[in-house]
Amino acid sequence: ASTLTYGGTEIGDTDTYHDHGVEPGAHLSLNFEKPMRITFFHGTSAQKWSSAHSVAVWGKEKVRVMLERVGRPGRWRSGQKQIRA
């Protein structure tokens, strides 16, 4: 959801500052996008949606990572899930 750049070049997750020539006193930029809010609704087919859980997600965030962060579906109670952005 965010990137760190130096001189207009992104510093990757596995990069070092040395890889990019970053020295003491250098200015780096932390860039991020505004998150979207989505709501997970929970219920069963025999009833209306009984609960809702709202979370922030980012457009560049991998779905698998988001599900790990907010709670994997396998850990949720049984029933149907609906997601609304």
Cα of 65 vs its chain's centroid, Å: 7
* Measured distance CA(43)–CA(84) in Å, rounded: 14
Q: Assess contact for 42 and 75: CB atoms under 8 A.
A: no
pLDDT tens figures, 8-38? 999 999 999 999 999 999 999 998 888 898 8
Instruction: Give the three-class secondary structure for 12.
Output: coil
Mean pLDDT of the 28-51 span = 77
pTM of the model: 0.49
Q: Compute the mean pLDDT over every residue in the chain, rounded to the nearest whole number.
A: 79
Mean pLDDT of the 44-57 span = 71
Concatenating the DSSP letter of every residue in 14-29 gives T--TGGGT--TT---E
Phi, psi of 5, rounded to the nearest 5 degrees: -125, 155
Residue 40: its pLDDT value, please?
Answer: 76
Residue 24: its pLDDT value, please?
Answer: 94
